[in-house]
Amino acid sequence: MRDKQLVGEIKCIHLPKEAEALGQDFFQLADQSYLTGSPWKPALFIEELQNQKAYYFAFYQKEVLLGFAGCHKVIDEVEVLSVAVAPEVKGVKIGEQLMLALIYEARNWQCTQILLEVRASNEPAQKLYQKVGFTQIGLRKKYYHAPQEDGIIMSLQLIDEK
């Protein structure tokens, strides 16, 4: 199943009425997706979904949540907060489709750049981000905990394509 693209629907979620249920769904998916479990508790996902600056791109197949990418839009920049894909469907380009949807919307919002941090040990994520145009711009020493490790700062400059 690797290297094939799974077909589904991507929804851009902003200030949803069902924030509590979605927050629980996002927590469960993140908890399964990350090797160290979800860094956020369900309450934080719920709070984020109610944040005016937060946008989540959710990948669904037959109404089953299989991945999400969350970000904050602040003036003319986007900061990616979290990306998670269900373990049983990793390798079928859900993460790539989510990031491309996020980049597309950031351009529509007329943002100048997208920033993110990724664990130094998370090579698959780094490769994905590089594939969609991100470059490393810095390093945050001991940024992550449990386990402690550096965070690589990556940026995608969005150029006016007029």
Active site residues: 117, 129
Q: How far is it, in rounded angstroms, from Cα 66 to Cα 89?
A: 7
Q: What is the 3-state secondary structure (H, E, C) of 31-98?
A: HHHCCCCCCCCHHHHHHHHCCCCEEEEEEEECCEEEEEEEEEEECCEEEEEEEEECHHHCCCCHHHHH
Q: What CA–CA distances, in Å, run from 45 to 8, 11, 15, 31?
A: 23, 17, 12, 12
